[in-house]
Amino acid sequence: MCFQPLKLDSAPYSIRQLLESEFEYYKSIRLEAIQTEPTLFRWSDPAESDLSDLDWQERIKYPRIVFGLFKKDELIGMTSMLLLNDSEAYFGQSFIRPKYRGQGLSNLLYKIRMAWVDAQQIKRLVISHREINTVSKKAIHRAGFEYSHRELVYWLDGTTGYSLYYRLEL
């Protein structure tokens, strides 16, 4: 498999795969995401806020692929993929700072991930969202995913609720 970092530009925005040496970018935007939107992200053990820099360095490595969304040089969002095996990937951890939402930037997040999976000849994609997240639901449907199943999970806001899963066969 080829692991050439990808980049897309849509002035003044760009999105690119973060290098392992850029784990601080991933750490900062991921922590901002879970602090900004605790109702939309799952609880994890250990808590991401308790992770060491070494843990963050490990989390940006393959089989996770992390993309940073930038406005010029400012990191304003992120998304990631986790390769489940040679032919399947899970799309997750998408976040765009609130003041940049509603501008179609989630399309860039999908576009770069789709380019990566196409280059790697991935055959199936899986994605999920909290049942109450209608914005994600619309974006997932626009990208062509089909509903698969639901799972009761524990969220960062301390509640339980359903996560809806979707898949896309390529």
pLDDT in tens, 118-137: 999 999 999 999 999 999 99
Residue 26 pLDDT:
97
Q: Which amino acid is at 131?
A: E
How far lies 11's CA from each of 15, 76, 107, 123, in Å? 10, 14, 14, 31
Position 4 scores a pLDDT of: 54
pTM of the predicted structure, to 2 decimals: 0.91
Give percent of the chain with pLDDT exceeding 70. Answer: 96
What pLDDT, in 10s, does the model give residues 85-116? 999 999 999 999 999 999 989 989 999 999 99
The pLDDT score that the predictor gives to residue 129 is 96
Give the CATH fold of the 7-124 domain.
Aminopeptidase (3.40.630)
76 residue type, one letter: I
Give me the percent of the chain exceeding a pLDDT of 90.
88
Region 63-76 average pLDDT? 96
Please state the φ and ψ torsions of residue 152, each to the nearest 5 degrees: -80, 125
Could you tell me whether strands 88-96 and 124-130 are parallel, antiparallel, or unpaired per DSSP bridges?
parallel
Which residue is listed with tokens 């040089």? 73
pLDDT surpassing 70 at residue 29: yes
Helix ranges (H only) for 37-168 are: 53-59, 105-120, 134-142
Half-sphere exposure of 105 (CA within 13 A, CB side): 25
What residue segments make up the domains of the chain, in order of their start? 7-124
Question: What is the structure's pLDDT at 5?
Answer: 63
* Mean of the per-residue pLDDT values of the chain: 93
